[in-house]
C-alpha cells in the first residue's frame, strides 16, 4: 500500500488502537512507578525523623526538668546532705555516739552505771546497726528526760525497750539498749540523661524531723600531734 508515495506494510505496524495508547500508558506507568518510589522512600524517612524529633524533644524536656530541680536545690542541698549524713552516717559512729551518750548523761544529771557495745551484721538494705547497752541511775523525772534526749539525738537512735527499777524513794535505775545505724554511701551516679526526682513533701518532713535531732559535738577524731611541753615535770 502506498501512502504519500511511501510503501507501508500494513502487517509491520502496530494496531493503531494500541499505538495511540502507548505513550500515555507508558508515561502513566513511569509516573506511577516514580510516585511509589518517592512515597516508599519518603514515608519511612519522615517517620524516622518524627520519632527522632519526639525522642530528642522528650530528652530535652527531661534534661530541662532535671536542670530546674538541680538549680532549685543547689543552695539548700549542702545543709540537707549534712543533716541526713549525721542521721545515718556512712561509717560506724560508735565513738562519737559514746561521747554523745556520756554528755547527754551528765546534762540530765544521771549517773552512768555501765555501757557496752555490740556490733551487728548488715541488715536488709545495706544498713548496719550497733547496739549500746546502757544502765544509769537518777531520779525518775531525769531518767525519763534522759531516755527522751537519747532518742532525740543524731545519728538516729532507736530504743526498743526500757526497764525501770525503783532503788530508793527518789532514785531509779534504768536499763535500755540504744540502736544506732550506719550505711555505706551510694557509689553510682545515674546517667546524665536519666531523670532525677526532687525531694517529696514526705522527705522534706523527714529532713525537718532529722534536723531537730541533737547533733554530736564531734564526728571526726583528729589525730593528736606531739605538743611542746613547756614544763617537762608537769
Partner 1 sequence: MNKSAINLLPVALAPKTFFINFAKNLKKLAILGFVALIITATVSITIFILFTNQINGLIKEEEDLKKSIKALEETEQRLILVQDRLTKADNILSQTKLNDEVPKAKSFIDDLPEKVIYSNVAIAPNNFKINLFTDDSEALAELFTKIIVSGKYQKVTLRSLNFNSEKGYSTSIDLNL
Q: Is 50 in the site for partner 1 (CB under 8 A)?
A: yes
Q: Is 212 in the site for partner 1 (CB under 8 A)?
A: no
Q: Kindly report the number of other CB atoms within 10 A of residue 214's CB atom.
A: 16
Residues 101, 179: Cα–Cα separation, whole Å = 12
Q: How far is the CB of 233 from partner 1 (least distance, A)?
A: 50
Q: How far is the CB of 117 from partner 1 (least distance, A)?
A: 18
Q: Is 49 in the site for partner 1 (CB under 8 A)?
A: yes
Q: Is 196 in the site for partner 1 (CB under 8 A)?
A: yes
Q: Which is nearer to partner 1, 100 or 180 (CB)?
A: 180
Of 98-127, binders to partner 1 (CB under 8 A) are 125-127
For residues 116 and 135, the answer to whether their CB atoms sit within 8 Å is no
* CA 208, chain centre distance (Å): 18
- Give how many residues touch partner 1 by CB under 8 A: 85
Q: Which stretch binds partner 1 (CB under 8 A): 30-38, 93-101, 110-118, 130-138?
A: 30-38
Among 107, 118, 203, 208, binds partner 1 (CB under 8 A): 203
Residues 73, 71: Cα–Cα separation, whole Å = 6
* CA 157, chain centre distance (Å): 23
**Distances, alpha carbon 199 to alpha carbons 76, 169, 212, in Å:** 11, 51, 18
Q: Is 63 in the site for partner 1 (CB under 8 A)?
A: yes
Among 11, 12, 17, 114, binds partner 1 (CB under 8 A): 17
Residues 41, 31: Cα–Cα separation, whole Å = 15
Amino acid at each position: 500500500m502506498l501512502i504519500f508515495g511511501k510503501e507501508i506494510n500494513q502487517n509491520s505496524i502496530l494496531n493503531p488502537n494500541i499505538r495511540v495508547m502507548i505513550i500515555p500508558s507508558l508515561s502513566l506507568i513511569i509516573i506511577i512507578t516514580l510516585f511509589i518510589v518517592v512515597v516508599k522512600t519518603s514515608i519511612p524517612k519522615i517517620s524516622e525523623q518524627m520519632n527522632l524529633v519526639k525522642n530528642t524533644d522528650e530528652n530535652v524536656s527531661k534534661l530541662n526538668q532535671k536542670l530546674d530541680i538541680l538549680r532549685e536545690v543547689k543552695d539548700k542541698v549542702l545543709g540537707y546532705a549534712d543533716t541526713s549524713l549525721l542521721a545515718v552516717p556512712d561509717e560506724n559512729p560508735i565513738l562519737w555516739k559514746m561521747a554523745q551518750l556520756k554528755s547527754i548523761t551528765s546534762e540530765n544529771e544521771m549517773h552512768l552505771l555501765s555501757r557496752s557495745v555490740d556490733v551487728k551484721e548488715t541488715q536488709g538494705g545495706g544498713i548496719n546497726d550497733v547496739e549500746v547497752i546502757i544502765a544509769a541511775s537518777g531520779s525518775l523525772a531525769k531518767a525519763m528526760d534522759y531516755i527522751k534526749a537519747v532518742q532525740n539525738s543524731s545519728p538516729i537512735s532507736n530504743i526498743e525497750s526500757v526497764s525501770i527499777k525503783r532503788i530508793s524513794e527518789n532514785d531509779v535505775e534504768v536499763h535500755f539498749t540504744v540502736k544506732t545505724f550506719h550505711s555505706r554511701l551510694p557509689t553510682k551516679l545515674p546517667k546524665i540523661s536519666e531523670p532525677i526526682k526532687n525531694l517529696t513533701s514526705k522527705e522534706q518532713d523527714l529532713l525537718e524531723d532529722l534536723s531537730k535531732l541533737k547533733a554530736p559535738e564531734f564526728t571526726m577524731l583528729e589525730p593528736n600531734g606531739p605538743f611542746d611541753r613547756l614544763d617537762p615535770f608537769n
